[in-house]
Amino acid sequence: MPVLSRRRFLLGLAASPVVLSSCSKTVGAVPDSRRALPIPPLAASTLDADGTRVFGLRAAPGRTAMVTGMNTPTWGYDGSILGPTLRARRGEAVAVEFENALPEPTTVHWHGMHLPARCDGGPHHTVAPGGRWRPAWTIRQPAATLWYHPHPHGATEKHLYRGLAGLFIVDDDASPAALPHDYGVDDVPLIIQDRRFTPTGTLDESDATDVGLLGDTIVTNGINDAYLSVPSEKVRLRILNGSGGRLLHLGFDDDREFHLVATDGGLVAEPVGVHRVLLSPGERAEIVVTVTLGVPVSLRAFPIEERTGIPAGKAHRFGFDDSFHVLEIRPHPTLSSSAALPTVLTNLPAAVAAHPHTARSFDLRWHMINSSRMDMDRVDFCSTVDTDEIWTVRNVDDWPHNFHVHDTQFRIVDVDGEPPPAALAGYKDTVYTPPGQRIRLAVRFSDYTDRTWAYMYHCHLALHEDQGMMGQFLVLAPGDEPAPAQMDMSDHAMR
């Protein structure tokens, strides 16, 4: 059952007059206040003369009933909150005509996308109010659930919190057809976020914790307390943790097993049977859950039990004790049958580079990486294109952090020297780095070089990123010299 906070309970009383019909037809059932889960529409696109698929996105303010009875000022792409799902196939040329109708500068970053640095939408690519930006690239990566969101330096948390986020689904020919793939029917996007509201129903942007704004209300695809009706035995959920600072430890209220089929960058080798999946901010998981006729089940966020390195008594300050109802899944009265899950989903190459590689290390601690904070005018290192690198990422802090790298999908080589669990063995662009842990990543930047425009790596807890827990790197052709615009290269020594 959903647990209402006292504040929300009172608010609900104040904001929604209860209208009871004297001839109510509800017999023997709890009156149903849950709303149907909104499904972000698939973005319209046009094909231009050279075959490029062109999308439009317009960021603007609006108002959204995130909670029934409230009309909360929010920001969205092509709507009052979140954004349409962009969808394109591997090999396709795409372009996005972005327009900023917000009252302040923003950027649009294509999280998880392999693309030229000048199209990446990082903090250097701000679009002024009223301004436009048109990145164009070719999709060169396997099918995956990626996303887009603002990345203005110092204001990412706020822009994300106000509602700016959407999915970008990449399709390819190699994905097994037996996976549920009817968008919005048995293949359903879930953008899960936490929010807090003021007594007047505006977003509460005060009281940031050490991990940023932690909300007491979970919203899924922009609303809280939603249900999804499912017409088939199996449903695939493409889940994004779109929160700023909250980790989500997801599972079902009856503890049923479900299957993880994809992580950030695409399919895992074979379905992984699990009871829980942990997503830190920015991470995605695709899961397939089997529903039973007549048996509703709820997706929940559970307390996070793994707390090594988190000081006793502090975990609640990071939201680790919280639990939430996320989404009720209601089977239709008749369920169509679904294909059995394939036993093999994809062939993943081995994660370890056997040949010489470039080694780098990144120590995470207190809003800093390797003891320095983001400087827009400093490039932290230069990588050589098409070269294997091994990155050692250590959380040497007693706070939770995670680690995200632009332009690429990496593989986890080991976690504290052990091979990664199956759920972390596929393509990732963001990884949770618990305190005290050392994670080694096999990283490679392919295809694109740019002497001027940098990519970012950072903690994806949005407050930490805003506070400077971020750095930037150039990808260069062998022998090329960096030529960063207004960027000082004095600190680009290899680490």
Q: Which residues pair with 210 in a beta bridge?
A: none
Closer to ligand C2O by CB, 147 or 318: give it.
147
Q: Return d(Cα 471, Cα 368) in angstroms, integer.
A: 9
DSSP 297-337: EEEEE------TTSPTTTGGGGTTT--EEEEEEEEEEEEE-
Closer to ligand C2O by CB, 87 or 111: give it.
111
Question: Which of 354, 471, 369 shows the shortest CA–CA distance to 413?
Answer: 354
Pick the binder of Cu ion from 461, 474, 475, 476 (CB under 5 A): 461
Pick the binder of ligand C2O from 379, 456, 474, 475 (CB under 6 A): 456
* Strands in 257-416 per DSSP E: 258-263, 266-274, 277-279, 284-290, 297-301, 324-336, 358-365, 368-369, 381-384, 388-395, 401-405, 411-415
Pick the binder of ligand C2O from 8, 34, 149, 162 (CB under 6 A): 149
Pick the binder of ligand C2O from 116, 244, 282, 331 (CB under 6 A): 282
CA angle 282, 288, 290 (to 5 degrees): 145
Is residue 153 part of the contact set for Cu ion (CB under 5 A)? no
Is residue 124 part of the contact set for ligand C2O (CB under 6 A)? no
Question: Which of 113, 209, 118, 212 shows the shortest CA–CA distance to 159?
Answer: 212
Tell me if residue 352 falls in helix, strand or coil.
coil
Q: Return d(Cα 116, Cα 386) in angstroms, integer.
A: 14
HSE at residue 369, side-chain half, CA atoms within 13 A, is: 31
x-or-dash string of contact with Cu ion, 107-146, rule CB under 5 A: ----x-----------------------------------
Pick the binder of ligand C2O from 8, 114, 124, 151 (CB under 6 A): 151
Is residue 114 part of the contact set for ligand C2O (CB under 6 A)? no
Q: Return d(Cα 311, Cα 371) in angstroms, integer.
A: 21
Pick the binder of Cu ion from 459, 474, 475, 476 (CB under 5 A): 459
282 interface partner picked from ligand C2O, Cu ion, none, CB below 5 to 8 A per type: ligand C2O
Closer to ligand C2O by CB, 234 or 460: give it.
460
Chain length of the chain: 495
Q: Return d(Cα 205, Cα 261) in angstroms, integer.
A: 35
Residue listed under structure tokens 């050279």: 50
**Residue 241: Cβ within 10 Å count:** 28
Is residue 464 part of the contact set for Cu ion (CB under 5 A)? yes
461 interface partner picked from ligand C2O, Cu ion, none, CB below 5 to 8 A per type: Cu ion
Closer to Cu ion by CB, 237 or 461: give it.
461
Pick the binder of ligand C2O from 8, 34, 87, 111 (CB under 6 A): 111
Is residue 411 part of the contact set for ligand C2O (CB under 6 A)? no
459 interface partner picked from ligand C2O, Cu ion, none, CB below 5 to 8 A per type: Cu ion
x-or-dash string of contact with ligand C2O, 369-408, rule CB under 6 A: -----------------------------------x-x--
Closer to ligand C2O by CB, 122 or 435: give it.
122
Tell me if residue 143 falls in helix, strand or coil.
coil
Binding site for ligand C2O (CB under 6 A): 109, 111, 149, 151, 282, 404, 406, 456, 458, 460
Instruction: Note the residues at the interface with Cu ion (CB under 5 A).
Output: 111, 401, 406, 459, 461, 464
